[in-house]
Structure 1
Amino acid sequence: MTSPASARPVAGPPAAAFGTPASGSALTARSHVTLITGDRVDLDARGRVIGLERAEGRTHIPFQVRKAAGHLLVIPADAARLVASGTLDQRLFDVTELNKAATRKAQKDGLKVIVGYRGDATAAKAAVRDAGRLRRTLTALDADAVQTPVRDTAALWRAVTDGDGAASGIAHVWLDGVRKASLDTSVPQTGAPTAWRAGYTGKGVKVAVLDTGVDTGHPDLKGRVIASRNFTSAADATDHFGHGTHVASVVAGTGAASAGTYKGVAPDAGILNGKVLDDTGSGDDSGVLAGMEWAAAQGADVVNLSLGGYDSPGADPLESEVDKLSRAKGILFAIAAGNDGPNSLGSPGSADAALTVGAVDGRDRLADFSSTGPRTGDGAIKPDVTAPGVDVTAAAAGGSTLDKEVGEKPAGYLTLSGTSMATPHVAGAAAILKQEHPDWGYAELKGALTGSADGGHYTPFQQGSGRVALGRALTQSVVADPVSVGFGVQQWPHTDDKPVTRKVTYRNLGDKAVTLALSSTATDPRGKAAPAGFFTLGASRVTVPAHGTASVGLTADTRLGGTLDGAYAAYVTATGAGQRVRTAAAVTREAESYDVTLKVIGRDGRPAKYYDTGLDGVAGLAAGAQLSPYDPSGTVTVRVRKGTYVLNSSVYADKEGAKGTDWIAQPRLTVSGKRTVTIDARRARPVDITVPAKGVTSRFAYPGYALTLGNGEYDYGMFLDSYRNFRSAHLGPRLPAGSLFQQWDGHWTKGASEQYDITTGGPVTELATGYTKHFTAGELATVKAGLGAAADGKTGTLNAVGWLPGANGATSLSFPQKLPGTRTLHLSAIGGVNWQLEFAQNDGTGQETAADAGYELGEFTFKAGHPYTETVNTAVFGPHVGAGLGLFRDGDKIYGSLPLFADSGGHAGYSDFTSVRTTLYRDGTKVGSNRDALFGEPFTVPAGDAAYRLTTSVRRSAKVAQASSRIDASWTFRSKKRDEFTELPASVPHYGIRTGPDSRVAAGRTVTFPVTVEGPAAGRNLTSLTVYVSYDGRTFQKVAVKGGRITLKNPAEGRSVSLRSVITDKQGNTSDITIWDAYFGR
């Protein structure tokens, strides 16, 4: 925020002063994300939704907003049914996901999606490719990866939809999501030396490493890479990040640079180098998919994927591709489980066919970061095995990012940890087995590696079958098929459960029959021994004929679990004739759960076809559940855990909601038994909110509510074009006081530069069934704002975000207008509402960056019936210090949080810049430099007292601002480590010249204006203030400061004045700040 803003009277009653804004400053821009529908969702600096700009022709479509389980969903009425059916990837409307830095970077040039087809899709393919740029054709999936500029996403939406559903030939539309890169003792730990002694080194086997590329010049990898292909936007297939080289070295490094010490598992295997992650270690789904298809075409036997991402219920395109290529080509995919710890198994390691790998340390202890199962959705066993993944030493890509960040030790090698490091151990082991058994496909390789694994003291959901034991796998001729046995979920209650039997099947790949002795061990959800008889084998021995199969029954009796629900696991161990096969098994005893039937009735009294229902678990066993039940019949039954839910249903009068929307919510739905909930739109009543003006146009309306339950906060709402034809209703009992807050926001415009913004509401115990509020002029405050233009040809917005006490959310109207100009805001001023005023100067690109400059005018409580004025975005632009803004020391860190381009009103904010260099010196010795424009990147310094000098120089383009094209600043001060957070003595000048809205002054005139000091040197602590002026940008001359004012001659038309101030305080701290092109003449 800013220091108190000035206010000047206007015609009418005396103008009230602006209130004092909150301290601190949002130095980052408001942003937005564009949905596949072409609609744009506006976000504040904290990622909260504060507005919506609909695509052309979509102003009538309502949106439901849900914030639960850590994700904020904004789903339009015409997409709800496709999302519920799984045709549309929910991530396409997950604003939290779309606003992540990695996703924004990947989508910076337009929305990337993967469109899957079905049947005769000739017309669909043509329409999709016409709406976007075809990036890749994914043959195995019958899919296209396309990228569509933000301005054309609405065209893509029309291409994939038709009427009530998907267009003919469209099977799925997925977000082209982001994937990230998730030996001296580690290789022997797998048993590789045993294989080497037997003559198996992976010779003749092709292993595709789909990663960040490979440094083919590293001595350990010379001659090992037999083909390369780049599937990223990076310049080449070389590894500039450092991850792929490390991985490839674990698979097939020769150890040449270490006399064999850091040799890979299969040192004679051939590497197919598919660069699917860029030079920052991330890539998109379609690039990984293309790499997989390339690897298959190159004849890969094994594919290593040390990468992953979030696994959502259902099959995503990477999971589907893994399964299809495994079965069609016999390729084994070794895939990292992920590095996010318990219950976080990632995709594509979640694929059925994948050999999914967790990580253990050198003592076979499970790494705390290793992602564990069960798999999302069906509770299947994953990972499949573990391998060494802690402190793994392998080849370094010289000069790469990891090489610089981690450092080589010994020379030429890096030591890294992660399931990314564990996975290539398994890929190398698979290459060894493939050399031994050239006729084996993925199923045999996977079966041998899982069946022969060494078990640890962990459950199948933590380690699969255990840590890979290649020495034993080499002699393995009997494998389990499948490698694990899943019993699924047994419904609650369990007293009447019937025992379920599944077959454990053994395949004998050898030439002699093998008799196996069978035993089992079982654990409960706590990891303790399961009750006796919970898992039982149908036989104690089984004989498997040569090149044949034999099965034995394994029975799970879930009646025996008592009151302990959850995942029960078992290991079946078969031994005999030198064979040992471990097979993992699991069954889930469902926690107390019930069927809930939802009956949705439209306002016409008939079963509803068009509706969007959300059911979010917020307490008890239900916590974290997020369901979107839908059936076109209007009746749908879902199985849910006992607990408390929030139910929201938007019932639409037509497929797009244009003829009316009924929002029916039950903020506390308790499920403790089987029940039916009737959502009857006929219960809803109209909402009528108006402002005291004629000729206004409703632009945006937002009814919403926030629920607080324990430590959890949940937000829900609707985005509407107006309250016309909108009705609301509450279902269920009242809630305790203090747990529910309801708000109503509305935004109208009048002409091109006048708007009305209202927000009202407060704590309630039940939601409104209908609502009426007609605002009067006496309930509004008026702000007349002058909007400056820092450069020619700009547009800008002045947004008013109204926050009610106790509310979790707010909205604003973003309505661009030409700059310079004025804008009049009429704001509701009752109920204790605080208004945050934000200005943004648009960059004009229409892409995902909302503005190239912007300012926080402050957060104010206005007095009803009073007028206010303000001016923003005019020169002189320069550094600003104030509450929460300046230079700081926190322990051994020195950093800045200091806006360098605050405007003449002292409004803090941000500005795009072309270059910046910040440097810190300690006792005359350089500590370091960075490219941080004092936004918070710290320098680490010693504890002792010392003299410091911090310098920064930042330039910005004339396309952003012609005034203040460059800022050079230097501060000197003494500092030492203290226990408390410390503000450092940094002061800055403020020039009080009044420029026009174009940051120009009348050429040639002589003007006198104040120069004040902000910061510790202000007031009586000031020793000296010296001001210099330059009219040519080269030479400066001293200017007399008299009574805190200076007198200058304005520059000639089109020319500028540059200003320099040197400030010294009584403690000897100094500031030296030069503002180049401070203002221009006209």
Structure 2
Amino acid sequence: MNDSSTHSRTPDSTVGPRTAEPRTAGRRTVLRALALAGVLAGTTFSALPPVAAAASGAPETHTLTIRHLDRAGHATGGYSTHVTGISGPGAQEEATPYDESGTVTLRLPEGRYLLDSTLYGTDPATGTDWVVQPRLDLNGDTTVTVDARTTAPVDVRPPEPGARRLNGIGFVEVTHEGTTRSANILTAREGLRVAHLGPASEPGSVKEWFDTYWSGTRSDYALGYTFTSDRALTGLVRHPAADRLATLKIRGAAPGGAGGTGFVSVQPSAGPTVGLAQPLQLPGTATVLVTPERGLWDVALTGPAAPETPPNRYEENGIAVHAGATTTHTFDNAVFGPALDTRPGARPAGVRDGDRIALDLPLLADGDGHAPSAPRFRTATTTLHRDGALIGTRRGEPGRAEFTTTPGAASYRLTASATRGDGSPSSERVTASWTFASATTTRPAALPLSTVRFAPDLALDGTAPAGTALRVPVTVQGTAAEAGVRSLTVSVSTDNGTTWTRVPVLDGRAEFRTPGPGRSVSLRAELTDARGNTLTQTQRNAFRTR
């Protein structure tokens, strides 16, 4: 990957990589995909022609001359410069001027501009210079000199000697009069040098961050630092000790023994970035050390692609980290079952709008409650009954269906089921059946749905030791968690759901002994909330013993 820079015109505009010639557009997810794909593509973005003399009533224009000097102080044609309007009559202007002599002239309307320039040496091994002028006030003919001799190194590296640098990104945002413009540079090599150019901007108006990603023998590293100031950075040195970093352990499971190669990705939650993307042999654990200074972090696991189906992706976003602490996140392991999004402001899983009833609930979320992007299932069915009469049956994606019912108040039973595996008696089958009262609404209203989550401590093949006493955490989500639980019972089956035994639930844990090796354990929860709404949830062959 060649060193390149990218720019965005507004805070929510598209962002794309730009090399000395090509330029393309894409959002934050595109930048992340670059790390996974290792491809940097683009289309030509040509310079704007000089603006003609201002006509009557048009904004006054001025000449902007930009000179480019290399590290020896000589004029150079090895550069890529971008000028973006921030405020004033030129707020919507954007230009990428170029002349091989190293000096380029253009005319632009008056206003505040952001200028950044990437200078490339003749030898890529010598590195790249990135010069940023966050405040270019064009109120008369102006000459700017971009001089590589003013730059200082970006020297950020992990505490593991010999760790291999994968990629990095520098990003700057400048805000003036309520408008934000940005520029960035993608770097695949070490040797980047940076400098501020021009006068200081207003206090706190310049936000900048640098993220670098590394692969080591003991772990991988995602090192990110943010700065808020009135200037762009001139150089950056960070050599964090291991105890100043936080550890993320990402465990990828292979329940049922189905392995393969997946990909782990880690990136800061805030701002555009490239991210770390590394292969992981499943089942397995990836260890990534990250900088707490960068804020919250996102992690994801993308599973192996199956024939004629997209790869399955799980993610967990907004993870708080602390220096010296370890957090562990497990993906794609049993027990698979329904899960509700319990974050504040989350969209309800079931909604009635007028006489339309819709369900959108991850029925096959993994053992930690992560919803899969492409759930693996053989069959999926959802039915709705009104006062005992069938309204309809829907087949398709697990936990997703929509019905139109009869106006007025009535009692409803909504049942969703899905089967994982090959459909044999040993396949995992999840069923959730809710009863509730509902009437026609004048606006969308959440249905009073609850779920029960079981979280046994399982190996990454989805198994528990045979013949041992388990204390399985049981968590109630949804309406019952908010309004209160009137009753909750848990039952266990070791014969594929033919017979069931009620087990005690003490201090939020179901207690029972696992059967002999190679057997399956099925789980059932029967719940009534404080308002009389009920749930019967069955997870047949939820996990196996070893």
TM-score by length of 1: 0.44
Unaligned runs of 5+ in 2: none
Query: 2-side partners of 1:1011 and 1:756: how far apart?
Result: 33
| Partner of residue 594, structure 1 | 62
| Partner of residue 322, structure 2 | 863
**2:195 is matched with which residue: 718, 729, 747?**
729
Q: Deviation digits for residues 586-614 of structure 1, max 9, x if unmatched?
A: xxxxx433332322222232222222222
Call closer, same or farther: CA 1:1014–1:152 in 2, change over 3 Å: closer
Query: 2-side partners of 1:151 and 1:740: how far apart?
Result: 31
| Partner of residue 111, structure 2 | 643
| Partner of residue 95, structure 1 | 26
Q: Deviation digits for residues 857-888 of structure 1, max 9, x if unmatched?
A: x5333332334445443211211223337534
Call closer, same or farther: CA 1:786–1:947 in 2, change over 3 Å: same
What is the CA distance between 1:754 and its match in structure 2? 0.8
* Matched letter for residue 702 of structure 1: I
What is the CA distance between 1:660 and its match in structure 2? 0.9
What is the CA distance between 1:765 and its match in structure 2? 0.7
What is the CA distance between 1:821 and its match in structure 2? 2.0
Residues 736 and 765 in structure 1, CA contact (< 8 A), matched pair in contact too? yes
Residues 338 and 362 in structure 2, CA contact (< 8 A), matched pair in contact too? yes
Residues 876 and 964 in structure 1, CA contact (< 8 A), matched pair in contact too? no
* Matched letter for residue 97 of structure 2: P
1:840 correspondence with 2:301 = yes
Query: 2-side partners of 1:1076 and 1:607: how far apart?
Result: 73
Q: Deviation digits for residues 974-1019 of structure 1, max 9, x if unmatched?
A: 23466887543222222232221111234x5354333624123359
Q: Deviation digits for residues 217-240 of structure 1, max 9, x if unmatched?
A: xxxxxxxxxxxxxxxxxxxxxxxx
| Partner of residue 781, structure 1 | 246
1:852 correspondence with 2:312 = yes
What is the CA distance between 1:775 and its match in structure 2? 1.5
Query: 2-side partners of 1:963 and 1:593: how far apart?
Result: 76
Residues 263 and 302 in structure 2, CA contact (< 8 A), matched pair in contact too? yes
Residues 654 and 660 in structure 1, CA contact (< 8 A), matched pair in contact too? no
| Partner of residue 1065, structure 1 | 529
Query: 1-side partners of 2:295 and 2:28: how far apart?
Result: 29
**1:610 is matched with which residue: 78, 81, 93?**
78
Query: 2-side partners of 1:908 and 1:854: how far apart?
Result: 6
| Partner of residue 75, structure 1 | 17
1:197-346 correspondence to structure 2 within 5 Å:
none
Residues 989 and 1011 in structure 1, CA contact (< 8 A), matched pair in contact too? no
Q: Deviation digits for residues 824-874 of structure 1, max 9, x if unmatched?
A: 332223x4x43324231322479996x413131x53333323344454432
Call closer, same or farther: CA 1:778–1:1059 in 2, change over 3 Å: closer
What is the CA distance between 1:948 and its match in structure 2? 3.2
* Matched letter for residue 154 of structure 2: V
1:876 correspondence with 2:335 = yes
* Matched letter for residue 436 of structure 2: F
Residues 429 and 539 in structure 2, CA contact (< 8 A), matched pair in contact too? yes
Query: 2-side partners of 1:939 and 1:616: how far apart?
Result: 51
Call closer, same or farther: CA 1:739–1:918 in 2, change over 3 Å: farther
Q: Deviation digits for residues 89-124 of structure 1, max 9, x if unmatched?
A: x5xx2224996xxxx9xxxxxxxxxxxxxxxxxxxx
| Partner of residue 816, structure 1 | 279
Query: 1-side partners of 2:307 and 2:352: how far apart?
Result: 39
1:1001 correspondence with 2:469 = no
**1:767 is matched with which residue: 200, 223, 232?**
232
1:889 correspondence with 2:354 = no
Q: Deviation digits for residues 559-579 of structure 1, max 9, x if unmatched?
A: xxx53x4xxxxxxxxxxxxxx
**1:969 is matched with which residue: 422, 425, 432?**
432
Root-mean-square deviation over aligned CA pairs: 3.9
1:986 correspondence with 2:449 = yes
Structure with more of its chain in helix, by fraction: 1
| Partner of residue 167, structure 2 | 700
1:390-789 correspondence to structure 2 within 5 Å:
491-494=52-55, 563=57, 565=58, 591-654=59-122, 657-722=124-189, 724-751=190-217, 754-789=219-254
Q: What SS does the corresponding residue of 1:1040 show, helix, strand or coil?
A: strand
Residues 888 and 981 in structure 1, CA contact (< 8 A), matched pair in contact too? no
Of the structure 1 ranges 909-918 and 61-70, higher mean CA displacement relative to structure 2 is found in: 909-918
Call closer, same or farther: CA 1:928–1:640 in 2, change over 3 Å: farther
Residues 206 and 228 in structure 2, CA contact (< 8 A), matched pair in contact too? yes
What is the CA distance between 1:941 and its match in structure 2? 6.5
Query: 1-side partners of 2:38 and 2:184: how far apart?
Result: 27
Residues 453 and 474 in structure 2, CA contact (< 8 A), matched pair in contact too? yes
Call closer, same or farther: CA 1:794–1:1023 in 2, change over 3 Å: same
**1:902 is matched with which residue: 331, 347, 365?**
365
1:802 correspondence with 2:271 = no
Q: What SS does the corresponding residue of 2:146 show, helix, strand or coil?
A: strand
Q: What SS does the corresponding residue of 1:900 show, helix, strand or coil?
A: coil
Query: 1-side partners of 2:470 and 2:27: how far apart?
Result: 51
* Matched letter for residue 53 of structure 2: W
What is the CA distance between 1:729 and its match in structure 2? 0.8
Residues 913 and 954 in structure 1, CA contact (< 8 A), matched pair in contact too? no
| Partner of residue 224, structure 1 | none
What is the CA distance between 1:652 and its match in structure 2? 0.9
Residues 490 and 505 in structure 2, CA contact (< 8 A), matched pair in contact too? no
Call closer, same or farther: CA 1:865–1:846 in 2, change over 3 Å: farther
Structure with more of its chain in strand, by fraction: 2
Residues 173 and 181 in structure 2, CA contact (< 8 A), matched pair in contact too? yes
Call closer, same or farther: CA 1:740–1:1008 in 2, change over 3 Å: same
Call closer, same or farther: CA 1:978–1:720 in 2, change over 3 Å: same
* Matched letter for residue 63 of structure 1: S
Query: 1-side partners of 2:112 and 2:102: how far apart?
Result: 23
* Matched letter for residue 300 of structure 2: F
Residues 855 and 910 in structure 1, CA contact (< 8 A), matched pair in contact too? no
Q: What SS does the corresponding residue of 2:480 show, helix, strand or coil?
A: coil
| Partner of residue 505, structure 2 | 1043
Of the structure 1 ranges 68-77 and 753-762, higher mean CA displacement relative to structure 2 is found in: 68-77
* Matched letter for residue 677 of structure 1: V
Q: Deviation digits for residues 190-209 of structure 1, max 9, x if unmatched?
A: xxxxxxxxxxxxxxxxxxxx
Greater CA radius of gyration, 1 or 2?
1
Query: 1-side partners of 2:6 and 2:246: how far apart?
Result: 29
Give aligned pairs, total.
527
Query: 2-side partners of 1:681 and 1:68: how far apart?
Result: 25
Query: 2-side partners of 1:713 and 1:922: how far apart?
Result: 53
Call closer, same or farther: CA 1:983–1:762 in 2, change over 3 Å: farther
Percent identity among equivalent residues? 27
Query: 2-side partners of 1:846 and 1:756: how far apart?
Result: 33
Query: 2-side partners of 1:943 and 1:630: how far apart?
Result: 68
Q: What SS does the corresponding residue of 2:149 show, helix, strand or coil?
A: helix
Call closer, same or farther: CA 1:1039–1:75 in 2, change over 3 Å: same
Q: What SS does the corresponding residue of 2:277 show, helix, strand or coil?
A: coil
